[in-house]
Amino acid sequence: MMRPLALLLLPLLVLWFGGLPSPGAASPARIKDLVEVDGVRGNDLLGYGLVVGLNNTGDSLRNSPFTEDAIVNLLERLGVNVTGEQIRARNVAAVLVTAALPPFARAGSQVDVTVSAIGDAKSLLGGTLVMTPLNAADGQIYAVAQGSIIAGGVVAEGQAETVTQGVPTAGLIPGGARVEREVAFDFTQVRNMRLALRNPDFTTAARIEAVINRDVGARIARMLDSGTVELDLAAVGVDQPARLMAQIENIEVDTSTRARVVVDQRSGTIILGNDVRISRVAVTQGNLTLRVEETPLVVQPNPFAEGQTVVIPRTDASIEENPGNGLAIVDNSVSLPQVVEGLNALGVSARDMIDILKSIKAAGALHAEFVVQ
């Protein structure tokens, strides 16, 4: 069953992509935006902590016993004896703290942290994270987090209704973690550096190799595969890898990517890449609407008569079919705007266009990778 939709997406796509270059022209990008340096990476950190100072929106300790245990342990470390006491505070919440330790982070530098409630807290708005150690996968503490939380939502509630906007049970602390341990990595000792492409492609990798060798003036770069370009620093006597990276990372390269059509069925969004091709194909489309209406009739006996009240079902069913616009010819397109213009001639909604694109792909006329999300 298909229902007509009022919103048409393809005219917007024509306006958005109409100014793109022709398929023969590539989009230049800097090398730093295309690759990652092998070995130069961040590390994920994780910690368990407490958020205090909440306005009666914290964990209910009966449903979150781990929060009470954490409070007791914290107070005992501070010299407060609460053994045997019953704590019923609602201004404390247990949270998981996550952060990413960037490459070359030095002791004393600060990184952002994300705080997420793990109990039944309603909101972290206005809370303060108590000092929380952050561990890496090796179990070592690399940073310590603390600070006021910037929550991403708000909750307003009354006796009969509750309104929630955003996600109030998660928040961010900008610069909330201070690095205490450095990751041992001496970049000056690197003699063979590998550049890993974020989107592997043989053409792009070959172009990166060519522009680096041309800019440096020596055959320092060598393409290993579609996702790796190796730099042989020892062969040309480079003793400062960081300075070399500063030289080559801003070189612009004409990129080349695979033709791709991305479809989000939940929102009806369609994105077509610039290299999408459609062979000559004829397309027709019509909407089929099935409508079922129930109008039950209540029948009662006459006054003072024997009998009982009954409900008689009454159903009205109908089928409406929109004949559509007939066959539309989509010619061999040489550019994305012409592809969109040809498909837009059908005058259908975005969700119907998703079905058309799937059918064109099944017919073998859509020459692109079809990604459905």
pLDDT tens by residue, 162-187: 777 678 889 999 999 999 998 888 78
165, 211: one domain: no
Residues near 208 by beta carbon (within 8 Å), at least 6 away in sequence:
31, 34, 35, 195, 197, 221, 223, 229, 253
Question: Is the pLDDT confidence value at 217 over 70?
Answer: yes
pLDDT of residue 260: 81
Q: Please report whether residue 86 resides in a domain.
A: yes
With b meaning 16 or more CB within 10 Å and e meaning fewer, what string describes 26-46?
beeeebeebbebbeeeebebe
218, 307: one domain: no
Using an 8 Å Cβ cutoff, are 360 and 354 in contact?
no
Which tokens go with 315?
A: 């159903």
324, 291: one domain: yes
Using an 8 Å Cβ cutoff, are 163 and 123 in contact?
no
Q: Please report whether residue 303 resides in a domain.
A: yes
Which stretch, 9-13, 100-104, 352-356, has highest mean pLDDT? 100-104
The widest CA-to-CA distance across the chain, in whole angstroms, is: 111
164, 214: one domain: no
Question: Coil, helix or strand for 129?
Answer: strand
Q: How confident is the model at residue 19 (pLDDT cuts 50, 70, 90)?
A: very low
Cα 210 to its chain centre, rounded Å, is 33
Return d(Cα 1, Cα 283) in angstroms, integer: 19
Q: Please report whether residue 304 resides in a domain.
A: yes
Q: What is the DSSP letter of 119?
A: S
Return d(Cα 123, Cα 169) in angstroms, integer: 5
Q: Point out the least confidently predicted range of 39-48, 131-140, 219-228, 251-260.
A: 251-260
Q: Please report whether residue 5 resides in a domain.
A: no
pLDDT of residue 291: 62
Domain residues for the domain of 52 are: 43-179
Q: What is the mean pLDDT of residues 53-76?
A: 84
Pick the more confident residue, 261 or 222. Answer: 222
In the numeric block, the tokens 């009966």 are attached to: 62
Return d(Cα 115, Cα 167) in angstroms, integer: 12
Nearest to 242 by CA among 193, 181, 307, 312: 193
Return d(Cα 146, Cα 206) in angstroms, integer: 47
Q: Point out the least confidently predicted range of 21-30, 59-68, 340-349.
A: 21-30
What is the gyration radius of the CA atoms in the chain, in angstroms?
Answer: 31
Among the three residues 128, 144, 179, which one is the final residue of a domain in this structure? 179
Question: Is the pLDDT confidence value at 15 over 50?
Answer: no
Q: Point out the least confidently predicted range of 2-16, 54-68, 177-191, 197-211.
A: 2-16
36, 47: one domain: no
Q: Please report whether residue 3 resides in a domain.
A: no
Q: Please report whether residue 106 resides in a domain.
A: yes
Which stretch, 44-48, 116-120, 150-154, 323-327, has highest mean pLDDT? 44-48
pLDDT of residue 167: 81
Q: Point out the least confidently predicted range of 35-49, 90-104, 261-275, 322-336.
A: 322-336
Across the chain, mean pLDDT equals: 78
Q: Please report whether residue 2 resides in a domain.
A: no
Q: Please report whether residue 232 resides in a domain.
A: yes
Among the three residues 254, 273, 307, which one is the final residue of a domain in this structure? 254
In the numeric block, the tokens 């929102």 are attached to: 267
Question: Is the pLDDT confidence value at 330 over 90?
Answer: no
156, 168: one domain: yes
Q: What is the mean pLDDT of residues 337-342?
A: 64
What would the pLDDT profile of 226-260 be if each residue is shown by its tens digit?
999 999 887 777 778 888 888 888 999 988 878 88
175, 189: one domain: no
Q: How confident is the model at residue 16 (pLDDT cuts 50, 70, 90)?
A: very low
49, 165: one domain: yes
pLDDT of residue 101: 92
Question: Coil, helix or strand for 297?
Answer: strand
Q: What total number of domains does the chain contain? A: 3
Nearest to 6 by CA among 351, 355, 360, 277: 351
87, 158: one domain: yes
pLDDT of residue 132: 94
Return d(Cα 98, Cα 87) in angstroms, integer: 27
84, 135: one domain: yes
Q: How confident is the model at residue 155 (pLDDT cuts 50, 70, 90)?
A: low
Return d(Cα 133, Cα 171) in angstroms, integer: 18
Helices (H), 103-186: none
Q: What is the CATH number of the domain that holds 236?
A: 3.30.1360
Among the three residues 254, 271, 304, which one is the final residue of a domain in this structure? 254
61, 165: one domain: yes
Question: Coil, helix or strand for 178?
Answer: strand
Question: Is the pLDDT confidence value at 121 over 70?
Answer: yes
142, 55: one domain: yes
pLDDT of residue 11: 38
Return d(Cα 184, Cα 168) in angstroms, integer: 37
In the numeric block, the tokens 């009666």 are attached to: 56
Cα 2 to its chain centre, rounded Å, is 29
